[in-house]
Chains A and B, each alone.
Chain A
Amino acid sequence: MNHRDRRLTRLETRTGLTTTLATLPGDAPERLAALDGSLWITGRGTDLLRVDPQTGGVLEVVEIGASGIDVVAGAGALWLPVRNVAADRRGFPTMSALKRVSPGGAVTTRATAKGRIDVHGLAADRAGIWLADNTGGRLYRLRP
């Protein structure tokens, strides 16, 4: 996924073949995760997109707020730190809330940031959802 021209490209790791599938909507799609047979994509000025990995077609646009900073799959759902409008305009990774999105597209707010939390890293494992804020110098772990 090229965040400059918004092209989504499939690269076969066994053969090296590449195929441009689609040009994605949004300002700068930057992050993706795979869950339940779909690709889920977000980024600056971009909602959460559910995309067909075979065709690149957008199957669903999930309203998540201004835009997503990152996305990770964990505990059977998607987890997205999202910006508010002001942060989205500046392009900063300042999180207003952490959203949980089910594979069916249902959105719930799992936590709301109190004070400035910048998300520079996002990961998931069996212990929870992890966020690294390298501005504030903290690592957060949330149990699903």
Chain B
Amino acid sequence: MLVLGVLAPAAVTASGPRLPGAAGYAACAAAGPYWPTQTLALGFGAAWIACKEEGRLVRLVPPRRGRSIRLGGGEVIAVVAGLGAIWTLDGGGTVTRIDPSTQRVGPRFALGAARPYNLWVGAESLWSVDDATGEVLRIDVSRRKVYSQDSGWRRPLGHRLRGYERVDREPP
């Protein structure tokens, strides 16, 4: 699915809140609940802002106007750039890939987390946390599989991390 829209001009007027010394640009006012909160990613020559309550992204290259990218899922709580793409996480635990060149949305897959909390990129993987269990999740995006530490990084999903004990197995 690919849905684009054009927002108002990026430059912000002098009214309203200001951060002196900083340039301000129109993005989206859709904060939703305060936590988790990781609504900004930089990458591929643009800023990507997650509009949490509206289930969409804004791609912004100041001072040009932003473009809206509708994701079609739930409330988007996190966005990161890396591994050749933009990635979002919604409140239902769905991860969605966005092509940074075409802004094409998808594919998407489920984390299996009861309370997904943010998204990070590192060591050639995506990472997330289930805030309900403290479980660390590693996502192999090429295989579209999610591994938990409790399973020795080999079984997908649903295996609760038992504290933070040592695990002596190879990651995927």
Are B166 and A19 in touch, CB under 8 angstroms? yes
Which B residues lie within 8 Å of A13 (CB)?
Answer: 122-123, 125, 171
Task: Please classify the interface of chain A as helix (H, G, I), strand (E, B), loop, or mixed, using the class held by over half of its residues.
Answer: strand
Q: Is the CB of A139 within 8 A of B25?
A: yes
Interface residues in B131-155 by Cβ distance below 8 A to A read 134, 136, 149, 152-153
Which residues from chain A contact B52 at a C-beta distance below 8 Å?
Answer: 120, 134
Q: Is A136 an interface residue (CB 8 A)?
A: yes
Name the residue on A nearest B80 (C-beta).
Answer: A123
Q: How large is the interface on A (under 10, 10 to 19, 20 to 34, 35 or more residues)?
A: 35 or more
| Chief secondary structure at chain B's binding surface | loop
Give the chain B neighbours of A120 by CB distance below 8 A: 31, 34, 37-40, 52
Contact B23 A140 (CB under 8 A): yes
Closest partner residue, chain B, to A17 (CB atom) = B166
| B166: A residues at CB distance < 8 A | 17-19
- Are the CB atoms of B153 and A16 closer together than 8 Å? yes
Is A64 engaged at the interface, CB distance under 8 Å to the other chain? no
CB distance from B105 to the nearest CB of A (A): 20
Contact A20–B170 (Cβ < 8 Å): no
Residues of A within 8 A of B (CB): 2, 4, 7, 9, 11, 13-20, 91-93, 98, 110-125, 130-142
Closest 10 CB pairs of A and B: A121-B40, A137-B29, A115-B17, A13-B123, A132-B40, A134-B31, A121-B39, A142-B22, A120-B39, A120-B37
